[in-house]
Chain A
Amino acid sequence: MTAAAPEPKANMGRPVPRYEAAAKVTGRATYASDMPLDNPAYAFLVTSAIAKGRIDSFDLDDARRVRGVIDIVTHENAPKLKESKLFSNGGYAGTTIQPLKSADITHDGQIIAVVIAESYEAAREAANRVKVSYTAVAPSASFDSPGTTTAAAKGQNAQFKEDPEVGDFAKAFDAAEVKLTASYETPTQHHNPMELFTTSCAWMGDELVIYEGSQYVYGLKNGVAEQLGIDADKVRVVNPYVGGGFGSRGSMTPRTAIIAGIAKRLNRPIKLVPTRDQGFTIATHRAETRHEIKLGAGRDGKLVALRHDGAEVSSRPDAYCVGGTKTTTRLYACPNVASLVSIVRADRNTPGFMRSPPEVPYLFALESAMDELAVKLNMDPVELRRINDTNVEPIGGKPYTSRSLMACFDEAAKAFGWSQRSPQPKSMSDGDWLVGYGCAATCYPTQMAPSAARVRLQRDGRTRVEIAGHEIGTGAYTVIAQTAAERLGVPLEKVAVFLGDSDLPPAPVAGGSNSTASTCSAVMMVCDRIRQRLFKAVMPSDSLTDKAKETVGISQAPSTQAAKSDRPLDIEKAFDALGVGIVEEYGEWKPEGAPLDSFTAMHSGHARLVGGHQMKDKIAYAFGAEFVEVRVNRFTHEIRCPRLVGAFAAGRIMNPRTARSQLMGGLIWGMSSALLEATEIDERNARYVNDNLADYLVPVSADVPGVEVILLSEQDDHINPAGVKGLGELANVGTNAAICNAIYHATGQRIRKLPVRLENIEV
Chain B
Amino acid sequence: MRPFSYQRATDPDMALQALSAAAAANNPLTKATAQPLAGGTTLIDLMKLDVMRPAAIVDINPLARSWSAIEPGSDGLRLGALAKMSDVAAHAEIQRNYPVIANSLKLAASAQLRNMATLGGNVMQRTRCSYFRDVSYENCNKRNPGSGCAAMDGVNRVHAVLGTSDQCIATYPGDFAQALIALDAMVEITGRSGARRLPFADLHKAPGKTPDIETTLQPGELISAFSIPGRWPRSVYLKARDRQSYEFALSSAAVALDVHDGTIRDARVALGGVATVPWRAREAEALLKGQKFDDGLAQRVADAAFAEAKGRRHNGFKIALGKRVVARALQQAVTMEI
Q: Tell me the A residues contacting B by CB distance below 8 Å.
A: 49, 121, 124-125, 128, 277, 432, 633, 635-638, 640, 675-676, 680-682, 684, 689-690, 692, 694-695, 697, 699-703, 757-759
Q: Is the pair A636, B325 in contact by a Cβ cutoff of 8 Å?
A: yes
A637 to B250, CA, bound (A): 11
B3 at interface by CB-CB < 8 Å: yes
**Which A residue's beta carbon lies closest to that of B243?**
A703
A-B pairs, 5 with minimum CB distance: A759-B317, A636-B240, A49-B136, A702-B244, A635-B328
A79 to B273, CA, bound (A): 49
Within 8 A of A (CB), among B313-330: 317, 321, 324-325, 327-328
In the bound complex, residues from chain B placing their C-beta under 8 Å from that of A640 are 244
Q: Is the pair A758, B325 in contact by a Cβ cutoff of 8 Å?
A: no
A633 to B329, CA, bound (A): 13
A640 to B325, CA, bound (A): 17
Q: Is the pair B1, A703 in contact by a Cβ cutoff of 8 Å?
A: no
Interface string of B120-138 (1 = CB under 8 A from A): 0000000010110111110
In the bound complex, residues from chain B placing their C-beta under 8 Å from that of A757 are 242
| 5 A-B interface contacts by CB (under 8 A) | A121-B3, A636-B324, A640-B244, A680-B155, A694-B128
In the bound complex, residues from chain B placing their C-beta under 8 Å from that of A702 are 243-246
Q: Is the pair A703, B245 in contact by a Cβ cutoff of 8 Å?
A: yes
In the bound complex, residues from chain B placing their C-beta under 8 Å from that of A697 are 242-243, 247
In the bound complex, residues from chain A placing their C-beta under 8 Å from that of B153 are 684
Q: Is the pair A638, B2 in contact by a Cβ cutoff of 8 Å?
A: no
Interface string of B283-304 (1 = CB under 8 A from A): 0000000000000000000000
Q: Is the pair B130, A689 in contact by a Cβ cutoff of 8 Å?
A: yes
A125 to B47, CA, bound (A): 11
Interface residues on B, range: 35 or more
In the bound complex, residues from chain B placing their C-beta under 8 Å from that of A121 are 1, 3
B87 at interface by CB-CB < 8 Å: no
In the bound complex, residues from chain A placing their C-beta under 8 Å from that of B317 are 758-759
A702 to B107, CA, bound (A): 12
A692 to B49, CA, bound (A): 11
**Which A residue's beta carbon lies closest to that of B242?**
A697
Q: Is the pair A635, B2 in contact by a Cβ cutoff of 8 Å?
A: no
Q: Tell me the B residues contacting A by CB distance below 8 Å.
A: 1-3, 50, 110, 128, 130-131, 133-137, 150, 153-155, 157, 238, 240-247, 250-251, 317, 321, 324-325, 327-328
Q: Is the pair B240, A695 in contact by a Cβ cutoff of 8 Å?
A: no
Sample of 12 further A-B pairs with CB below 8 A, known A682-B155, A758-B321:
A128-B2, A635-B324, A635-B327, A635-B328, A636-B238, A636-B240, A636-B321, A637-B240, A689-B154, A695-B130, A697-B242, A700-B245
**Which B residue's beta carbon lies closest to that of A690?**
B130
How far does the Cβ of A314 sit from chain B's closest Cβ, in whole Å?
Answer: 22
Given known pairs A124-B1, A695-B130, the reply for A638 and B136 (CB within 8 Å) is no
Of the candidates B1, B134, B325, which one forms a contact with A125 in the assembled complex, judged by CB atoms under 8 Å apart?
B1
A697 to B242, CA, bound (A): 8
How far does the Cβ of B88 sit from chain A's closest Cβ, in whole Å?
Answer: 21
Q: Is the pair A700, B243 in contact by a Cβ cutoff of 8 Å?
A: yes
How far does the Cβ of B50 sit from chain A's closest Cβ, in whole Å?
Answer: 5
SS class, residues of chain B in contact with chain A: loop
How far does the Cβ of B127 sit from chain A's closest Cβ, in whole Å?
Answer: 12
Given known pairs A49-B136, A125-B2, A684-B154, the reply for A635 and B325 (CB within 8 Å) is yes
How far does the Cβ of B30 sit from chain A's closest Cβ, in whole Å?
Answer: 19
**Which B residue's beta carbon lies closest to that of A639?**
B242
A77 to B324, CA, bound (A): 59
A700 to B112, CA, bound (A): 13
How far does the Cβ of B173 sit from chain A's closest Cβ, in whole Å?
Answer: 10
In the bound complex, residues from chain A placing their C-beta under 8 Å from that of B157 are 680, 759
How far does the Cβ of B171 sit from chain A's closest Cβ, in whole Å?
Answer: 13
A702 to B242, CA, bound (A): 12
How far does the Cβ of A411 sit from chain B's closest Cβ, in whole Å?
Answer: 28
In the bound complex, residues from chain A placing their C-beta under 8 Å from that of B134 are 277
How far does the Cβ of A712 sit from chain B's closest Cβ, in whole Å?
Answer: 31
How far does the Cβ of A678 sit from chain B's closest Cβ, in whole Å?
Answer: 10
A690 to B189, CA, bound (A): 36
**Which B residue's beta carbon lies closest to that of A762?**
B320
Q: Is the pair A699, B155 in contact by a Cβ cutoff of 8 Å?
A: no
How far does the Cβ of B249 sit from chain A's closest Cβ, in whole Å?
Answer: 10
A684 to B50, CA, bound (A): 24
In the bound complex, residues from chain B placing their C-beta under 8 Å from that of A128 are 2, 50, 135
A690 to B240, CA, bound (A): 20
A684 to B139, CA, bound (A): 14
How far does the Cβ of A759 sit from chain B's closest Cβ, in whole Å?
Answer: 4
In the bound complex, residues from chain B placing their C-beta under 8 Å from that of A49 are 136-137
Of the candidates B128, B137, B242, which one forms a contact with A758 in the assembled complex, judged by CB atoms under 8 Å apart?
B242
In the bound complex, residues from chain A placing their C-beta under 8 Å from that of B136 are 49
In the bound complex, residues from chain A placing their C-beta under 8 Å from that of B246 are 700, 702
**Which B residue's beta carbon lies closest to that of A760?**
B317
How far does the Cβ of B82 sit from chain A's closest Cβ, in whole Å?
Answer: 24
In the bound complex, residues from chain A placing their C-beta under 8 Å from that of B327 are 635
A689 to B130, CA, bound (A): 6
In the bound complex, residues from chain B placing their C-beta under 8 Å from that of A680 are 155, 157
How far does the Cβ of B239 sit from chain A's closest Cβ, in whole Å?
Answer: 9
A277 to B157, CA, bound (A): 19
In the bound complex, residues from chain B placing their C-beta under 8 Å from that of A635 are 324-325, 327-328
**Which B residue's beta carbon lies closest to that of A759?**
B317
How far does the Cβ of A169 sit from chain B's closest Cβ, in whole Å?
Answer: 38
How far does the Cβ of B10 sit from chain A's closest Cβ, in whole Å?
Answer: 27
Of the candidates B110, B243, B251, which one forms a contact with A676 in the assembled complex, judged by CB atoms under 8 Å apart?
B243
In the bound complex, residues from chain B placing their C-beta under 8 Å from that of A684 are 153-154
In the bound complex, residues from chain B placing their C-beta under 8 Å from that of A689 are 130-131, 154-155
**Which A residue's beta carbon lies closest to that of B153?**
A684
Q: Is the pair B242, A695 in contact by a Cβ cutoff of 8 Å?
A: no
In the bound complex, residues from chain B placing their C-beta under 8 Å from that of A700 are 110, 243-246
Q: Is the pair B244, A703 in contact by a Cβ cutoff of 8 Å?
A: yes
Q: Is the pair B242, A676 in contact by a Cβ cutoff of 8 Å?
A: yes
A633 to B239, CA, bound (A): 12
**Which A residue's beta carbon lies closest to that of B50?**
A128
A213 to B244, CA, bound (A): 32
Of the candidates A125, A703, A759, which one forms a contact with B321 in the assembled complex, judged by CB atoms under 8 Å apart?
A759
**Which A residue's beta carbon lies closest to that of B158?**
A695
A277 to B50, CA, bound (A): 13
**Which B residue's beta carbon lies closest to that of A633?**
B240
Q: Is the pair B241, A638 in contact by a Cβ cutoff of 8 Å?
A: yes
In the bound complex, residues from chain A placing their C-beta under 8 Å from that of B130 are 689-690, 695
In the bound complex, residues from chain B placing their C-beta under 8 Å from that of A432 are 328
In the bound complex, residues from chain B placing their C-beta under 8 Å from that of A699 are 243
